[in-house]
Amino acid sequence: MAKEPMLKFVTVGRDMPSKRDAEDRKDDFLEIYGEYVEAKAEEQASRCSQCGVPYCQSHCPLHNNIPDWLRLTATGRLKEAYELSQATNTFPEICGRICPQDRLCEGNCVIEQSGHGTVTIGSVEKYITDTAWENGWVEMIAPTVEREESVGIIGSGPGGLAAADRLRRAGLKVTVYERSDRAGGLMMYGIPGFKLEKDIVLRRVKQLEDSGVEFVLNCNVGEDISFDAIRGKHDAVLIATGVYKSRDLKGPGSGSAGIVRALDYLTASNKVSFGDEVEDYLSGELNAADKKVVVIGGGDTAMDCVRTAIRQGATSVKCLYRRDRANMPGSQRETQNAEEEGVEFVWLSAPKGFAGDPVSGVMVQKMRLGQPDASGRQSPEVIEGADYVEDADLVIKALGFEPEDLPTLWGVEGLDVTRWGTVMADFKSHVTSLPGVYACGDIQRGASLVVWAIRDGREAADAMIEYIDQSVSVAAE
Amino acid sequence: MTKFDQDWAAREDAKRQWMTEHSLFREEDEHSSCGVGLVVSIDGSKSRKVVENGITALKAIWHRGAVDADGKTGDGAGIHVQIPHHFFGDQIRRTGHEARDGELLAVGQVFLPRTDFGAQETCRTIVESEVLRMGYYIYGWRHVPVNTECLGEKANATRPEIEQILISNTKGVDEETFERELYVIRRRIEKAAQAAGVSSLYICSLSCRSIIYKGMMLAEQVAVFYPDLMDERFESAFAIYHQRYSTNTFPQWWLAQPFRMLAHNGEINTINGNTNWMKSHEIRMASTTFGDMAEDIKPIIPQGASDSAALDAVFEVLVRAGRSAPMAKTMLVPEAWSKNAEELPQAWRDMYSYVNSVMEPWDGPAALAMTDGRWVCAGLDRNGLRPMRYVVTGDGLVIAGSEVGMVPTDEATVVEKGALGPGQLLAIDMAEGKLYHDVEIKDRLANARPFGDWVGKINDLEDELSGITETAYYTGAELKKRQIAAGYTIEELEQILAPMAEDGKEALASMGDDTPSAVLSTKYRPLSHFFRQNFSQVTNPPIDSLREFRVMSLKTRFGNLKNVLDEDSSQTEILVLDSPFVGNAQFDALKDHFNAPMTEIDCTFPVDGGPNALRDGLDRIRAEAEEAVRSGGGHIILTDQGQDEKNVAMPMILATSAVHSWLTRKGLRTFCSLGVRSAECIDPHYFAVLIGCGATIVNAYLAEDSLSDRIERGLLDCTLSEAVLRYRAAVDAGLLKIMAKMGISVISSYRGGLNFEAVGLSRALCAEFFPGMHSRISGIGIGGIQKKLLAVHKQGWLGGNTLPIGGFYKARKSGETHAWEAQSMHMLQSACDRASYEMWKQYSAKMQSNPPIHLRDLLDFKPLGKPVPIEEVESITSIRKRFVTPGMSLGALSPEAHRTLSIAMNRIGAKSDSGEGGESPDDFTPEPNGDNASAKIKQVASGRFGVTVEYLLACEELEIKVAQGAKPGEGGQLPGMKVTDLIAKLRHSTKGVTLISPPPHHDIYSIEDLAQLIYDLKQVNPRCKVTVKLVASSGVGTIAAGVAKAKADIILISGHNGGTGASPATSIKFAGLPWEMGLTEAHQVLAMNNLRERVTLRTDGGLRTGRDIVMAAMLGAEEYGIGTAALIAMGCIMVRQCQSNTCPVGVCTQDEALRAKFTGNADKVVNLITFYAQEVRELLASLGARSLDEVIGRADLLTQVSRGAAHLDDLDLNPLLISVDGADKIVYDRSKPRNAVPDTLDAQIVSDAARFLNDGEKMQLSYAVQNTHRTIGTRTSSHIVSKFGMRNALQPDHLTVKLTGSAGQSLGAFAAPGLKIEVSGDANDYVGKGLSGGTVVVRPPMHSPLVASENTIIGNTVLYGATDGYLFAAGRAGERFAVRNSGATAVIEGCGSNGCEYMTGGLAVILGSIGANFGAGMTGGMAYLYDPDGLALDLINMETLVTCPVTVDHWETQLRGLVERHAAETGSVKAKDILLHWDEQKGYFLQICPKEMLIHLPVPLAIERGAMPAE
C-alpha cells in the first residue's frame, strides 16, 4: 500500500507559524504571524485525520472542502489545493488571517475535540493562497461570455466584493459604489494591519478592477447618487453596505470629549498607515500616544482597538468588559495576543458614567455572573457598593454596530427592514422586498464575520444571476 | 391415519401464488441441499443387496434433511435403481400380456393429479398418445402401491396419484435409440401437458434402464411408502439415493431427488448465467442426434426448474447426444485446471481447454451422484466444498456418499476407503465391470478424443497485448469535460481510482453506508449504483478469492461459440485473454486480431432528440447490433466515445444489457463477442455490472485517461502502461471478489448472469432491458434516466471546468446526503452526556428532517386507534430489553469501548454481542461493583477466534455470524498492528501477527451444515439460544425458513448499511439490501410457512430513532440492534479511519495513547437505549398501542406517503406492506424456551460417567457408534468445564470414551481437557471442531486390511478453530485439515487440499501426501510434512511461509516426540516404520513456518541466510 500521507496527528504535534515577540511587534502595524515554509505546511496539513464527517467543514460558513485541500497540501499539490480552496471561498488568504478559527473550523476539528491539538487550518489556508499569489496562479477573471446585463453593488466590503467576483465570472457587468475613498470596507479600514496587511486587500481589489469590475469611490448613496438612479442603471442591485452605526453608551458624562467611537479610531489609524493626513489623528483626538486608554467592550473590535492603542504608544491600555473571559464574544486567541502586548483586561466591569470633560476616568460598576439565560450565557448582575473610577484620557467605545436607517437615508420606499433595522431579505436568495434588489452581509444579518459576508455575497450573486437569466428569457418570449 | 384436507393444497398453492405476485417472496429463491450417495456393484451384476444398502443408507442420513412443523413431512427423498425385469415381467403377465423374451421394457414413473379426475384422464391421454405417436406399444398402467401412513399432513395433502406406464420396444430399436426416443417422448409429454394446462403431471423417470421412486417423505420412510422397494424381486446393480433439505416448506413432490440422471447435494451458484447462456446454446444444440425432433426438446431447461433440476436437464441432453456420464460431468462441472500447483498432464489441459471453450462451467458447491445407465459416477465440483466419501467393499460394491458409515460394511475385507477431492471423479463402468479412479477416468476421457488438435486454434493474446504501450485518448480541457459528464468526482479519482493505480488493489474504508439509495438521491448517480451485488449465505458459501485463488479464473474467451454438442475443431477458433479488462491501446491492437467482421456502434443520443431520445437510441443500437450479426459480424463494440456538446452518452450498462438481451432473444448472442468502451466505468463494481450484463471485454478508457492525466501532473511516478497494469490488477481482484462473494469461480459463468438485485429500477425497464433480474420496488425508468443524463451532460459539456468534490464515501457539504452529520452527532452526544431527553427529541427531529435516505423514510404510521395514556404503555424497562448492541469485536473496538457496551447493556437487562475475537475469561464473572463486562451474546464467526467451551458457556445466546451487513460474502483481516498482547491472548494467536477471517464458515457450505453447527452449539451449551445473523438480500426469506428449520431460535436480518472496521470501499457500498426489504421478506416467508412463531426476528443496520424502531417492529422485528449510534454515544465521531488504528477518540483503536482519549462510559449508552425506548413508548401511545407486541408484524399500519421524486416511474413500496394470511394469529413470545434438538450419545455418556462428573473418578466407557451419532463428546465437555473449569487439573485421559464404528460429524467438537475419545473405525467431517483441550484418537479397526496412510479415515474441515488439545488419526484427512487451528496439536497420515489454511497456532504433523494449496493464509503455528518423494513444495502456498529441513535439535525433539506418541496412540504402522529408521527418515521431513512467526520462535529455524524463498 502506498504510504498514507495523512493522519499524522498521532505522531506530529500542532505547530503554528512563528509569532513575532510582543516586544518586537508592538511598535508596528505589520502582521504578527510568520508564514509556514513549504515543509512545515505539508507537515501540519498531514495531521488531518480525513474525517468521514468533517466537522471543520460543517462549522465553516463557506463549507470549505478543508480535508481535501489539506490532503493536497500535505502531498505537495499546492496549485490544486489553491484551486479547490478558491472554488468555495473568494478570499481564502483573508479568511486564513482573520477568521476566528478557534470558534469555527479549528475549534471543531475532531483532532482538537479529542485532545490532540487542532490542525492549523487557517495558517495552511493562508499559506496556500499566498503561495498562489506568489506563483501567479491567481488570475484575472476571464468570463467565457460577456453579457449585456449589469449589476450595481453598494458597498465594497467582503460581501460586495465576493458578489462582484462571482457576478463578473458569469460575464455580467459590475459596478461597485463605495462611500469611502478606498474599496474594501471593513477589511480596508476596520481591521488593523497587524491582523490583515492592507496590500492583501489591495491586490484583491486590483484583481477585480483588472477583471473589469468598475469601482465608484467616494460615492455616498442618497447624496452623490440616488438609490433609484442605481436601480435604473442596473438589472439588479445588491445592498452590501455593512453596519456602521456604533452602539452608544448612556450615563453621566457620556458626551464628554475624549470618548470616541471604535470605528472612527480604527479608520484613522488605518488611514495613517497609508500615509494619509488625518485631521483627528493629528489633533490627538484619535491618537492614543501617551494616553491612558480604556476600551469598553469584549468583542473582536475591542481587541483591535486595544492593540492599536498599544502600537500608537499609549501609556496604559485597559479593556473593560462586563462578563468574564469565558463569556466574552471575541476570539480567545486575540485576547491572548493583546495580553502579551501589555493590555490589561478588567473583567466583570461595566461603565456607569464618565468623569471629567475632557474625560479623566470611567466610573466602573463591578459585576458578577448570574444564572445562564436561554442562550446558555450567564447574564451579569451588579455588585452593589463596589463601584470605582478607572483613570482614562481616551475612552474608546467598542460595543458593537447597528445598521443605519437606509430607507430614510436613501429615500427608498418599499424596502422593508427588520425591527433591528437590518434590511429584510430571504436568507437563501437574499432578495429583499424590492424585486431585483438584494442584500447581503452585515446589513442583512447584523454585525458578523467577514466569512459570513463572503458566503452571503456568493449566495446573493447566484440568486441574482438566476434572476437575470429568468428576466432575459421572459423578455425573449 | 393421517388427516387429509382436500382443499389445503389448493389454498396453499393460491396463497403462494398471491405472495409471489404481491410480496417480496419469490419461488425461484428457494434453495435446497442435502445428503446424497450411491451404491453400485462394480461388475454390474444386479442384486437385492444393492437396493437394500441404498435403503439402509437413506435411513442413515435423516439428519441431513429437515422436517416440517408437522414432524412428518420431509423435504423429499428418493432412490434411483435399475428396472427389475422379473418384477415388472410379473406385472405385465398380470395384465394378460407376455413380455417378449429379451425385449426391452420401458417403465415410466408418473405423478398424476390425484383429486381432479378429469385432469388425470387428460394426462393419461397425453402420455399414451405421445408413446404411440413415437411408435411404441403400451402394456398398460400400473397403480403403484403406497403406504400413506408414514406421510405428514402436508405431504399427504399434496400427494399425487403415482402410476407406472409399461411400454414395449415394439420397434425393436437398440437400447441407446430406445432411451433417446423415450427422452423425446417425455419432453413432448411435458410440453403437451403444459399446453393443456395441467401443471401437476410429472414424470419421475421414463426409461428402459432405470426407475426413480421419490416423494415428500422422510428419508427413512422411502421404502415404507413404496412397498415395491421391499419386494425380493426388486434387484439392481446400482442405487442412487438422495435426502433433500429445502428452505421452502411447501411440499412439492417433483422437486424431490434423484432426478433422471443425477442427484445433487449443494447449490449451483452460477445458475443465472448458465440458464441464460443455455437459451443461446440450445438454439444451436439442434444436433443430428435429435434431427427433426430437435424442436421438441427445447427449452432444455424447463420453466421453474431448480438448480439441480436444470443441471440434470442439461446433463441428460449431453448424455442423450452421446456423451458418457463422466464426460458430461467433465463438461459441465470441470475441475480447476489453469492455475494448478502441479501441472496437469497436457492431454487433460487440452481437454479442459476444449471443454471451457464450449460450455460455461456450472459451479457448485456440488457433490454429484449420477448415472447414464452404463456408468455410475460420483463427483465433486472445482472447490470440493461438499463431502463425498467412498468405500470399496470386499464383495465388489462401491458405496459413496456424503458421509462414511451410512452402510455397514465388513471392515475385515474392505478394499479401500477414500474421499473425493476438488473436481475429482469416481466412475464405475458397469458394462466393463471396472472401477476408474480419478486419474484413470480422466486419462481415459482425455485420450479418447484429439482434444490437442482441436484446441490448437485457440489464440492466446495475453502475451502479445501485455507488451503494448498504453496511450490516452483525451487530455486537458476535453478530458475534464468528459470526466464531469461521466459523473466523476474528485473523491472518486483520488480515493478510488488513484489507490488502484498506485497499489494494485482497492483502498480500504470503514464504518457503514449512511447515504441514500440511488433511487432516493437528488444527485446524479451512475446506473451501477442501482445494482446490488448478490452474495452467498448459508445455502452456499462464498469463496476465498485471495487464499484459494487457484480455483478462480477470469480467462475471457471470445469469438464464435459454436454448437455445444459438436465435437470437432470448428468451435475452438477463439481468442483468449487473461481478464476482461482491456486497456486503450490493447483494445485497438485487439481489433487487428479479430477473426470476423467487427462493427462499432455509437451509444449516444442527441441532446435535442426529444423526450424519447434515449429510448430511440436504445432501439437503434439494438437494431444495428442485430443487423451486424445477421450480416456475419462476429464482434460488436459498443462505445460512448462519440459524446460531445450535442450528443449524450448512454449509460453503458443499459446499452450493453439492451444489446445482450436483444441478441439473446434473437438467438444471435453466441455468434458474436460484445466489447464495451465506457466513460463511466471506473470501479470494479461497474466492471462487474457490465460483465454481468453480458459484456465480453471492457475498456474503461476515461479512467485510463484520468490516470494518464495524473502521470502528466507528476502524481504517479510510473508509465501509463504500468499504472494501467496495476489498475487492472485491482479491478481483476475486485471482480474475483465480487464473483467469489456469491461462490462463482469462473467469469464465463458470471457473464450475462445478472447476479444482482436492482433497488429502484422501474419494473418495466428491468423487464425489457435486464430480463431475469429482480427489481422489487420499481423506481427510475428510461425517462428519469434520460433526464438525469441530460443534466450531468450539460454540466460537463456546457458547464464549468471544476470536478465536483464528491461526498459519496465521506461526507461533503456539496455532496451526497449522509444521515450522520456533525450537528446530529453532536446532539446525540450531548443528549447522552447530559441525560437530556429534550435534546434527544431535537436530535430525533433533526434526523427526521433529513431528505429521504431510506425506504422507510417514504412511509408513515396509521394509528391503531385513539391515542392511549402513556402510563398504560409497557414500561421503558420492558422495551429496553429488546435492544442489543450488534457484534463488534474486541480488536476492532478498544477494550474500553468493548467493555463499556457490555456493562451498559447488562445493567438494563439488554444484551451486547461479543463480536468475533473472544473475550477475556476474567470478564465472565461480575466485577466487585456488580458490573458485568461479559457479553450476553457470544459470536461464532468464520475465524472462530477464541471460541472455546468456556467462551461458549459464558452467555445466554450464541450468534452464528453468517454474513456482515457492510461486506456480506467477504472475510476480514485484523492487521498485525492491531494485534496487541491482549488481543493475541484472547484470540490464541501471536502479537503483531495478522489474523484472517475467511469469507465462509468452513463448516457451513450448505444449509444442513448450518443445522449441524447449530446442533453442535446446542450440545455444548445446554441452555443458550442460537442466533443466525443473515444479511438482507433477495431470497433471504427462504433462507430464513431453512434456518428456522435448522432449529435456530433467533434470526437476525442485518441491513447493508451496518458498519465494519475495514473493508474495500466499494464492498461497503454495493452489496446487500436495506433491512426493510430483508426483514419484511423474512417475516413474510416465515409466516407463510408457519415458522414465524418458532423464531424471534431481530434486525439492525441504521436504526437511529424511536421511529425507526417502531417501523422495524411493524415490518416484523421483535428485537433491535444499535451499533453506530452506540459508538457515537461513546464518543465516536465517524472519522471513518477505523482501519488505520488512529481513532482519535479511542473507540476503535488499540493504540495506548489514543485509547487514553476514550471518554465513553456505560451511563451514556444506558441513556441512549433509554431514549430510544422512551421515544418508542411515546409513539406507541400516540398510535394507540399498549405494547410493542401489538404492532409487531403489523405492516398494515404503515402507509406510503411519498412516491419519491417526480422523475421516477413509480416507487412502489407495497410489496413491503403485505400481510400474510393468518399472520394476525402469530404469537410473539421472546421468552419461550429454545427449540429443542435431539440428544446424542452424550446423553448416555453423561449418565454413565456420573462418578467421573460428580466425584472426579477416572473412568473408561465403551460404545458402538454409527454416522447418525453426531457431536460426540461435546455435551460431556460442557459438563466437564462447568464442573472442573477449562484450566482444570484432570488427567488427559481422565474420562476415556472408546467408540467402535463410524462416528458421525463433529466428533469431539469442543472437547475439553480431561476427555479422551478413541475411535476404532473412522469418522466424518468436522472432527475436533473447536477442540478445547481434549484428545481425539481415530484409528482403523484392528482387523482392517487397509494401509492406513492410503485411506481416508477422517472427513473435511478437521480441527476448525481448535484452540488446544490433541488429535491422532491413523489415516488421511479430507479437505481443509486444521483450518484456522490456533492451538491444537495433530498427527495424521495425509490430507486433501487447503490443509492448514489460515492456521494461527498449534502444530500439525502430516505423515503422508498433502493436497494443493497447503498453508494458504497460514500466519501462525508450525507444520511438519513427511515428504520422501519431494512432492510437497509444489503444493504449498508459499505466500506467507518459509520451509526448511528439520535439523535443529529443539524442533527434531518436538517432531520425534509427536511421531512416537502417534505410534503409541494409534498403533500406526507408518509411524513405527519412520521411527525405526529415524536418522534416515528425519531427512524427509519438511518444516513449515509462517514468515511473520520467525521473530517469535523460541529457537531459530535451520534456515540459512538467503535460503528464504523469493517473494
Each residue's pLDDT tens digit, B1339-1389: 999 889 999 889 999 999 999 999 999 999 999 999 999 999 999 999 999
* Among chain A residues, CA nearest to B1143: A49
Q: Which residues of B touch A68 (CB under 8 A)?
A: 490, 494, 805, 812
Residue in A1, A63, A71 nearest the CB of B813 = A63
B722 and chain A in contact, CB less than 8 A: no
Quick: pLDDT tens for B1005-1029. 888 899 999 999 999 999 999 999 9
Asked if A337 has any chain B CB less than 8 Å from its own CB, the reply is no
| Residue of B92 and A138 predicted with greater confidence | A138
- A53 and B503 within 8 Å at the Cβ level: the answer is no
Nearest Cβ partner for A2 among B503, B713, B823: B503
The pLDDT, as a whole number, for residue B1084 is 92
The CATH fold assigned to A150-243+403-476 is: FAD/NAD(P)-binding domain (3.50.50)
CA–CA distances in Å: residue B125 to residues B110, B121, B200, B1013:
13, 6, 14, 50
Strands B883-885, B1119-1121: pairing is parallel
Whether residue A57 and residue B813 make contact (CB cut-off 8 A), yes or no, is: yes
Residue B936 is given by DSSP the state: S
Q: What does DSSP assign to residue B632?
A: T
The domain ranges of chain A are: 22-134, 150-243+403-476, 246-401
The mean-pLDDT minimum among B282-286, B397-401, B614-618 falls in: B282-286
Specify the pLDDT at position B1507: 45
Q: Tell me whether B490 touches chain A (CB under 8 Å).
A: yes
CB atoms closer than 10 angstroms to residue B823: 15
Query: Hey, are the CB atoms on A58 and B821 less than 8 Å from each other?
Result: yes
B34 counts as catalytic: yes
Closest partner residue to A110 (CB to CB) among B499, B503, B1133 is: B1133
Q: Which residues of A touch B494 (CB under 8 A)?
A: 68, 71
Contact A58 B823 (CB under 8 A): yes
Asked whether residue B617 carries a pLDDT value surpassing 80, the answer given is yes
Tens of pLDDT, residues B154-186: 888 889 999 999 999 888 899 989 999 999 999
The answer for A 1-40 residues in CB contact with B (under 8 A) is 1-2, 4, 7, 9-10
Which chain A residue lies closest to B1154 (C-alpha atoms)?
A: A10
The confidence band for B95, taking pLDDT boundaries of 50, 70 and 90, is: confident
Domain A246-401 sits in CATH at 3.50.50.60
What residues 820-839 of chain B have any CB closer than 8 A to a CB of chain A? 820-823, 825
| pLDDT category of residue B559 using cuts at 50, 70 and 90 | low
The pLDDT assigned to A344 comes to: 96
CATH superfamily of A22-134: Alpha-helical ferredoxin (1.10.1060.10)
Bigger pLDDT: B1 vs B26: B26
Identify the pLDDT of residue B1395: 95
What are the grid coordinates assigned to B1362, written together?
481448535
Query: Is residue A115 less than 8 Å (CB to CB) from chain B?
Result: yes
From B456-460, B613-617, B1367-1371, the region with the lowest mean pLDDT:
B456-460
The pLDDT score that the predictor gives to residue B560 is: 56
For position A379, what pLDDT does the model report?
Answer: 83
Q: What are φ and ψ of residue A304, in 5° steps?
A: -60, -40
Q: Which of A7, A10, A53 to mutate to test the interface with B (most CBs of B within 10 A)?
A: A53
Q: What's the pLDDT score for residue B794?
A: 92
User: CB-based contact (8 Å) between B148 and chain A?
Assistant: no
Q: Which of A52, A65, A71 faces B1136 most closely, judged by CB atoms? A: A52
Confidence of residue B564 (pLDDT cuts 50, 70, 90): low
The answer to whether B496 faces chain A, any CB pair under 8 Å, is no
What Cα–Cα distance (Å) separates residue B648 from each residue in A411, B620, B785?
A: 53, 15, 12
Sign of CA dihedral B111, B114, B119, B120: positive
Q: Which residues of B touch A111 (CB under 8 A)?
A: 1144
Three-state secondary structure call for residue B666: coil
Determine, for residues A2 and B822 on separate chains, whether the beta-carbon distance falls below 8 Å.
no
Provide the 3-class DSSP secondary structure of residue B217. coil
Question: What CA–CA distance (Å, rounded) separates A233 from A248?
Answer: 37
Comparing alpha-carbon positions, the chain B residue that sits nearest to A64 is B813
List beta partners, residue B206. B108
Render pLDDT for B929-951 as a digit per residue (tens, 0 to 9).
999 999 999 999 999 999 999 99
Determine which of A80, A82, A114, A462 to mutate to test the interface with B (most B C-beta atoms within 10 Å).
A114
Whether A52 and B1135 lie within 8 Å, measured CB to CB: yes
**B818 chain-A contacts, CB cut-off 8 A:** 53
B511 neighbourhood in chain A, CB within 8 Å: 52
In the numeric block, the cell 479529542 is attached to: A114
Give the Cα separation of B820 and A8 in Å (integer): 25
- What's the pLDDT band for B32 if we cut at 50, 70, 90? low
- Over residues B599-609, the mean pLDDT reads 96
In chain B, the percentage of residues whose pLDDT exceeds 90 is 67
pLDDT at B1508: 47
Residue B96 is predicted with a pLDDT of 79
Q: Cα separation of B1102 and B1121, whole Å?
A: 9
Sign of the Cα torsion B14, B16, B17, B23 reads positive
Of A49, A54, A59, nearest to B811 by CB-CB distance is: A54
Q: Spell out which residues of chain B touch residue A67, defining contact as CB-CB under 8 Å.
A: 810
Instruction: Report the chain B residue with the minimal C-alpha distance to residue A169.
Output: B800
B1 pLDDT tier (thresholds 50, 70, 90)? very low
Q: Return the pLDDT at B785.
A: 95
pLDDT at B1328 over 50: yes
pLDDT band of residue B1172 (cuts 50, 70, 90) is very high
Kindly list the residues from chain B whose CB atom is less than 8 angstroms away from the CB atom of residue A52.
511, 810-811, 1134-1137
A52–B511 CB contact, under 8 Å: yes
- Which of helix, strand or coil describes residue B550? helix
Residue B1192 pLDDT > 70, yes or no? yes
Contact B44/A at CB under 8 A: no
Question: Is some CB atom of chain B closer than 8 A to the CB atom of A475?
Answer: no
Q: How confident is the model at residue B286 (pLDDT cuts 50, 70, 90)?
A: low
Per-residue 3-state assignment (H helix, E strand, C coil) for A371-430:
EECCCCCEEEEECCCCCEEEECCEEEECCCEECCCHHHHHCCCCCCECCCCCECECCCCC
B798 touches chain A (CB under 8 A): no
pLDDT, tens only, B717-756: 999 999 999 999 999 999 999 999 988 989 988 999 999 9
- Give the model's pLDDT for residue B69: 65
Interchain pair B1154, A10: CB under 8 A: yes
Average pLDDT in chain B: 90
Q: How far apart are CA B1040 and CA B1018, in angstroms?
A: 19
For residue B842, the surrounding DSSP H or E stretch is helix B837-848
Residue of B1011, B962, B1016, B1007 lying closest to B365 (CA atoms): B1007
Q: What pLDDT was estimated at residue A1?
A: 40
List of chain B residues whose C-beta atoms are within 8 Å of the C-beta of residue A49: 1135, 1137, 1142, 1144
Chain A touched by B494 (CB under 8 Å): yes
Run means of pLDDT, 10 residues per run, chain A, 477 residues? 78 90 90 90 94 94 96 94 94 94 92 92 95 94 91 97 96 96 94 94 96 96 94 96 90 91 94 92 93 94 95 95 88 91 94 92 92 76 91 94 92 93 94 96 94 97 95 76
Q: Which residues on A lie below 8 Å from B821 (Cβ)?
A: 53, 58
Percent of chain B with pLDDT over 70: 96
Q: Is residue B528 pLDDT above 90, yes or no? A: yes
User: How far is residue A349's CA from residue A361's CA, in Å, rounded to a whole number?
Assistant: 14
Residue B1509 has a pLDDT of 45
pLDDT at B296: 85
- Fold agreement (A22-134, A150-243+403-476): no
The shortest C-alpha distance from B1136 to chain A (Å) reads 5
pLDDT in tens, B637-685: 999 999 999 999 999 999 999 999 999 988 888 888 999 999 999 999 9
